[in-house]
Amino acid sequence: MSTKERKALGRGFGALLKSVEEQTVSDNKGEVPQIQIDEVGFNPKQPRQEIDNSKLEELAQSIKTKGVIQPVLVRPLENAAKKYELIAGERRLRASKLAGFDQIPAIIKPIGDDELLEIALIENIQRDNLNPIEESKAYRDLLEEHGYTQENLAQRVGKNRSTIANFIRLLQLPDEIQKDLSEFKLTTGHARSLLAIDDEETQLAIRDRVLDEKLSVRETEDAVRTVKSKEAPRKPAGKPETISPQMVLNQDRLRDRLGTKVSIKSKGPKGKIEIEYYSEEDFNRLFSLLLN
């Protein structure tokens, strides 16, 4: 991730994710307060669902030696079983407990429910803590629960709008392929190639080839193009639509650029391009892109 992109992350939330030194200066205190680990409840909106236990052990060993260098971020709770709710720093909290610590340094901020998921997402993106499916689901939840458009969400988290759209498209894949992405057996490049195929059975068949033969992204794209070119003659009689390998490539490029399903249908020198949209907001987004 570039320096420019990191600076853009979480615009408006810089004060919440300051370093220990900046927080100390701004609060004019000599040290960050310590809170009891057992008084902290976990954030139910935490985007990260998978934690590598071996890396957690490594972090715990580091904390035993050097302590917790960066404080966690929590918000105070009222009338709840726990005194605080964790916003950012789950690995540090778990590792500290694993290391036998009773307390942890914490920045305590009153944070609203509407900001909870966004801050947790930003913190994880900055530290590259999320797998592709966790990141995709976090973007989807922000869009559905908080009324963001893809455009303003992209601005909030410092990503291109097409990147947000491509992440969300990953959730259209079969569960088996999503699991592979979560476990980093497949890359997002492999997954985007498979999205060019509509048939789930064919997607899974190519996915098996990718895993068995350790195909690169480019080789996966070639396999997808081969399958699609073989499927073209099977269209019903009376619809002699064919699509050349170059048109398949053009179709895939349009899908990546527009972040939605695109179909190119050819009949001799003529043809048509079909672009799908799934909501009024999605239509307005595509309409704006096409006008530009």
pLDDT in tens, 210-219: 999 999 999 9
Instruction: Please give the Cα distance from 61 to 141 (Å, whole number).
Output: 34
- Does the pLDDT value for residue 5 go beyond 60? no
Coil/strand/helix, residue 268: coil
Q: Which two tokens stand for residue 232?
A: 């073209």
Coil/strand/helix, residue 156: helix
CA atoms within 13 Å, Cβ hemisphere of 172? 19
Q: How many residues does the chain have?
A: 292
pLDDT of residue 6: 37
Output the pTM of the full model: 0.54
Instruction: Please give the Cα distance from 134 to 112 (Å, whole number).
Output: 22
pLDDT of residue 219: 92
CATH number 3.90.1530.30 given to 3-129: yes
134 catalytic per annotation: no
Rg of the chain in Å (alpha carbons): 23
- Does the pLDDT value for residue 189 go beyond 50? yes
Instruction: Please give the Cα distance from 74 to 106 (Å, whole number).
Output: 7
Other CB atoms within a 10 A radius of the CB of residue 186 amount to 23
Q: Which two tokens stand for residue 97?
A: 């407990």
Other CB atoms within a 10 A radius of the CB of residue 82 amount to 14
Q: Which two tokens stand for residue 270?
A: 């003529």
Q: Domain extents for the chain?
A: 3-129, 240-292
Given the residues 90, 123, 134, 135, the one annotated as active site: 90
